[in-house]
Amino acid sequence: MSDPFKTWKFFVSTITFKPLDLLVFLFKTTLAIFTLASISLFFHFAFSNRSICLSSPVCNNNQQQNFVASGQAYGRTNLSHVLIGIGGSAKTWNERRRYSQLWWRPNVTRGYVWLDEKPPGSEKLPPTSPPYKISEDTSRFKYTCGYGSRSAVRMARIVKESFELGLDNVRWFVMGDDDTVFFLENLLTVLNKYDHNQMYYVGGNSESVEQDVIHSYNMAYGGGGFAVSYALAAELVKVLDGCIDRYAAFYGSDQKVQGCMSEIGIPVTKELGFHQVDIRGNPYGLLAAHPLAPLVSLHHLDYVQPIFPGMTRIESLKKLLTAYEKDPSRALQHSFCYDLKRNRSISVSWGYSVQLYPYLVTAKKLETAFSTFQSWRTWKNGPFTFNTRPVEKDPCERPLTYFLDHAESDINGDRTQTRYARHVEESDKECDRPDYGRASGVKFFGVSSAKLNPAIWSTAPRRQCCEVVNGGEGADHFVQVKIRGCRRYETVTPP
């Protein structure tokens, strides 16, 4: 094999131009370049897990994989590249920080909660609490929205004050409220889809159409959280203060920020995992019908019922996190299967709930959220930015429901097993049809699955399939289901 350094020496010695030597030189140089190129290609394919993942939707062995795609000159975005700005106030911080403390990783997550003044008991905040900063005075700005609060001005400036800290290696500025729960692995999965060197504004709408109509469809709602790439933040900070005065009549900080985005000309890139949770009542229907996208955030949890029955809000979030931590990408993801022997339909919302129907229900229906909640402003049954179906009064038209009660993963962390226990509301009447009677013998569901590789989210989305694995006698009390990638031509189709 030709050594490129030898070729270089050869080049130096042939500088006296002999035609034959020159030809040999050209040949050797070409050979050297070709060799180098093939070596680097070999290493690319041998060590890039991405190339493996493209052929198989689930890979388990490459959590540390590098997402450097062709043409990208930077490595995978990790938590150290994200600067988080939480909008808070001194008065409510001691209550609200319980939400931040669920997901904040001391000395790992970078960022601050921005308060109007020192919070009471500031000397003895636990280490799990995000560190705080006091926002600059904003009394010089205009705020003219009659039904809102001036604090929106201070909140809108958090992205600017965060940028102006001038911290190293920040690729994304992520904004949230003091009652936003972020799911950090999934936040990174989503951010890794986008190049921080370009101008990106990533987030989600309100679930309540009335909110989107009043505030905007073009904006990333602040409570659901949004991400601003470094390149965009650099432009945003130049115009933000002016926007705050120009959009003084806007209610929220997120709307003022969007006013600026509009001036820069950057639309919101919608990601369905950001949840403003602009709903009232029971969030069950929303959570049990999550779209096919990683769960990035939940907000407004003080305004909806606890997400698990019979538990406090914080306890229920901790429960959801026990499953989430075992397989972040799979959290709340849907899978449907039929048990054709027993004529049943099973809908799994992984890490949260299972629904059992003693008859066959179309996938189209199963993927539609139950309307267990109302709109944010008017407490009506809709409309929402997604379809809902009513919870029928007739108990024979409702599924039996199960809630997560245990989650574990195997030694390697490659596979998980979650368990769901039957839940009956005291007020629920039971259906007395024989098929329901037999189904109500099922007290538990077990669900096994391989850990879902985050790389799946950069490929074309497809809901995963499932099957009942203990079809025999034991399945009267405990049904074991396996979730897996769908086979070719496999569909959820009634016979």
User: In 330-425, where do the E strands start and end?
Assistant: 334-339, 344-349, 353-357, 369-370, 373-375, 388-389, 400-409, 415-423
Residue number, 435 or 467, with CB nearest to ligand NAG: 435
Residue number, 298 or 442, with CB nearest to ligand NAG: 442
90-103 vs 313-326: helix crossing angle, rounded to 10: 30
Min CB(338)–ligand NAG separation in Å: 9
In this structure, are residues 273 and 293 in contact, taking their beta carbons and an 8 Å threshold? yes
φ, ψ (nearest 5 deg) of residue 338: -105, 140
Min CB(12)–ligand NAG separation in Å: 38
Min CB(63)–ligand NAG separation in Å: 11
Min CB(165)–ligand NAG separation in Å: 18
Residue number, 245 or 435, with CB nearest to ligand NAG: 435
* Integer angstrom CA distances of residue 277 from 73, 250, 352, 404: 37, 21, 17, 21
Q: Where are the alpha helices (DSSP H) in 419-468?
A: 434-439
Min CB(399)–ligand NAG separation in Å: 13
As a whole number of Å, the CA-based R_g of the chain is 27
Min CB(359)–ligand NAG separation in Å: 4
395: amino acid identity, one letter: P
Residue 127's CB is within 10 A of a number of other CB atoms, namely: 9
Residue 378: is it exposed, middle or buried by C-beta count within 10 angstroms (0-12/13-18/19+)? Answer: exposed
Residue number, 75 or 474, with CB nearest to ligand NAG: 75
Kindly list the residues in this chain that would bind ligand NAG in the complex (CB under 6 A): 75, 78, 80, 106-107, 127, 343, 359-360
Q: Which long-range contacts (CB under 8 A, 24 or more apart) does 388-393 make?
A: 388/285, 389/365, 391/285
Residue number, 35 or 343, with CB nearest to ligand NAG: 343
Residue number, 13 or 80, with CB nearest to ligand NAG: 80
Place of tokens 């839940």: 423
Residue number, 77 or 416, with CB nearest to ligand NAG: 77
- Whole-angstrom distance, CA of residue 7 vs CA of residue 311: 73
Q: Which tokens is 359 given?
A: 């008859």
Contacts of residue 141, defined as CB under 8 A and 6 or more positions apart, other chains included, come to 153, 241, 244, 245, 248
Residue number, 28 or 50, with CB nearest to ligand NAG: 50
- What one-character-per-residue DSSP string does 244-273 give? HHHTTT-SSHHHHHHHHHHHHT---EE-TT
- Whole-angstrom distance, CA of residue 57 vs CA of residue 295: 18
Min CB(108)–ligand NAG separation in Å: 8
Min CB(9)–ligand NAG separation in Å: 37
Residue number, 277 or 442, with CB nearest to ligand NAG: 442
Min CB(343)–ligand NAG separation in Å: 4
In this structure, are residues 30 and 5 in contact, taking their beta carbons and an 8 Å threshold? no
Contacts of residue 183, defined as CB under 8 A and 6 or more positions apart, other chains included, come to 103, 273, 294, 295, 296, 297, 324, 328, 331
Torsion 277-278-282-288 (CA) sign: negative
Min CB(79)–ligand NAG separation in Å: 6
Residue number, 75 or 120, with CB nearest to ligand NAG: 75
Min CB(435)–ligand NAG separation in Å: 7
Nearest to 484 by CA among 60, 54, 51: 60
Q: What DSSP character marks residue 124?
A: G
Residue number, 303 or 359, with CB nearest to ligand NAG: 359
Residue number, 343 or 368, with CB nearest to ligand NAG: 343
